[in-house]
């Protein structure tokens, strides 16, 4: 039997078993969140930082359902529209549990939720200087992706299409260019709509994908989580196996020799 080379995945210093990272937003309740996360096989989940509800002491909280000691929490800056807000959020997240590996997103526009790349670059520089390992949500512009890497980003996270749109991979050429030039992991973040989109991203050579809405907003989120798990493994194996070349004409699969 052919022994396959061990396929490891590392972001910053963090070794991950799964190349699927899942978000924890938009679910019906925490119970469903926990079940979907488990079915996805992900060992890293994104979480947001918000004010605690001080009036309702009995309200369930995320950490009761997803144990941060068992699954890697990746604090994000969702909802931050400038560098100051994003830095404040991540410094608080670090204080909460010592998290140095974080996901930075500085949004630029409420309608498209496109990242403000100028603020994103500046924030990345500051966070890297403060010792953070920064995974950065960004546009699919190869030049900005390169600049982020030069600033010390731990992972480049270009969007497939706008956040929550489910439109899938809209610019395969750019994503491929980013993959080719990057020495840090490239993780497609945002816009994936269904399992096959994730497979396509992985076949292009992405190191991982981050999925939230496509699982949480599926009719059966737990089953969709399993579908994504398989899709990512499949896409990765397909990438590693190396696809056949394309031909414009047919090439028979059975030999002509010995034909009766």
Residues carrying an active site annotation: 103
Identify the bridge partners of residue 97 per DSSP, sorted by sequence position.
Answer: none
CB of 190 to another protein, least distance (A): 8
To the nearest whole angstrom, how small is the minimum distance from the Cβ of residue 170 to another protein?
18
Shortest CB 124 distance to another protein, Å:
20
Residue 181 CB-half CA count within 13 A: 18
Could you tell me the smallest distance in angstroms from the CB atom of residue 118 to another protein? 23
Instruction: Confirm or reject binding of residue 25 to another protein (CB under 8 A).
Output: yes
Q: What would the two tokens of residue 221 be?
A: 């989120």
Using the Cα atoms of residue 90, residue 94, residue 99 and residue 100 in order, give the sign of their dihedral.
positive
Q: Tokens at residue 19, please?
A: 């190349």
Reading the block at residue 242, the tokens are 């190396």
Q: Does 75 participate in binding another protein (rule CB under 8 A)?
A: yes
Question: Any contact of residue 228 with another protein (CB under 8 A)?
Answer: no
Told to check if 210 binds another protein by CB under 8 A, we report yes
Q: Which is nearer to another protein, 142 or 191 (CB)?
A: 191
C-alpha atoms less than 13 angstroms from C-alpha of 256 in its C-beta half-sphere: 2
Binding characters for another protein, 118-157, by CB under 8 A (x = yes): ----------------------------------------
To another protein, the closest distance from the beta carbon of 122 in angstroms equals: 20
Nearer to another protein, 55 or 244 (CB): 55
Name residues whose C-beta falls within 8 Å of residue 193's C-beta, 6 or more positions apart in sequence: 165, 166, 167, 168, 214
C-beta closer to another protein: residue 44 or 177: 44
Q: Is 243 in the site for another protein (CB under 8 A)?
A: no
> Of 160, 150, 48, whose CA–CA distance to 104 is shortest?
48
Of 26, 129, 180, 220, which one interacts with another protein (CB under 8 A)? 26
Q: In sequence order, which residues have a C-beta less than 8 Å from that of residue 112 and are 6 or more positions away? A: 162
Unique residue bearing structure tokens 């009995």: 58
Q: Considering only residues 91-110, where is the footprint of another protein by CB under 8 A?
A: 91-93, 95-97
The reply on whether position 46 binds another protein by CB under 8 A is yes
CA-to-CA dists, residue 170 to 42, 109, 156, 178, angstroms: 25, 19, 17, 14
* Contact (CB, 8 A) for 228 and 40: yes
Report the distance separating Cα 162 and Cα 139, nearest Å. 10
Among 9, 12, 18, 30, contact with another protein (rule: CB under 8 A): 30
Chain residues that interact with another protein, rule: CB under 8 A: 23-27, 30, 33, 46-52, 54-55, 57, 61-63, 68, 73, 75-76, 78, 88, 91-93, 95-97, 163-164, 210, 212-213
């Amino acid at each position: 039997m052919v022994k396959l080379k061990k396929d490891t995945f590392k972001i910053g210093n963090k070794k991950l078993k799964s190349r699927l990272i899942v978000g924890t937003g938009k679910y019906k309740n925490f119970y469903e969140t926990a079940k979907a996360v488990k079915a996805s096989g992900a060992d890293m989940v994104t979480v947001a930082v918000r004010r605690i509800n001080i009036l309702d002491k009995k309200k369930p909280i995320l950490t009761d359902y997803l144990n941060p000691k068992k699954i890697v929490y990746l604090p994000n800056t969702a909802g931050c529209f400038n560098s100051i807000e994003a830095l404040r959020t991540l410094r608080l997240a670090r204080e909460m549990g010592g998290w140095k590996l974080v996901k930075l997103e500085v949004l630029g526009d409420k309608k498209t939720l496109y990242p403000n790349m100028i603020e994103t670059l500046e924030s990345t520089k500051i966070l890297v200087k403060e010792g953070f390992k920064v995974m950065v949500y960004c546009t699919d512009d190869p030049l900005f992706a390169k600049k982020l890497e030069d600033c010390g980003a731990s992972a480049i996270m270009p969007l497939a299409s706008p956040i929550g749109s489910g439109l899938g991979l809209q610019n395969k050429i750019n994503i491929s260019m980013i993959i080719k030039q990057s020495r840090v992991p490239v993780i497609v973040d945002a816009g994936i709509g269904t399992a096959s989109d994730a497979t396509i991203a992985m076949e292009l050579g992405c190191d991982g994908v981050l999925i939230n809405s496509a699982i949480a907003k599926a009719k059966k989120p737990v089953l969709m989580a399993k579908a994504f798990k398989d899709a990512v493994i499949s896409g990765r194996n397909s990438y590693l196996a190396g696809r056949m070349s394309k031909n414009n004409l047919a090439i028979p699969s059975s030999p002509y020799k010995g034909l009766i």
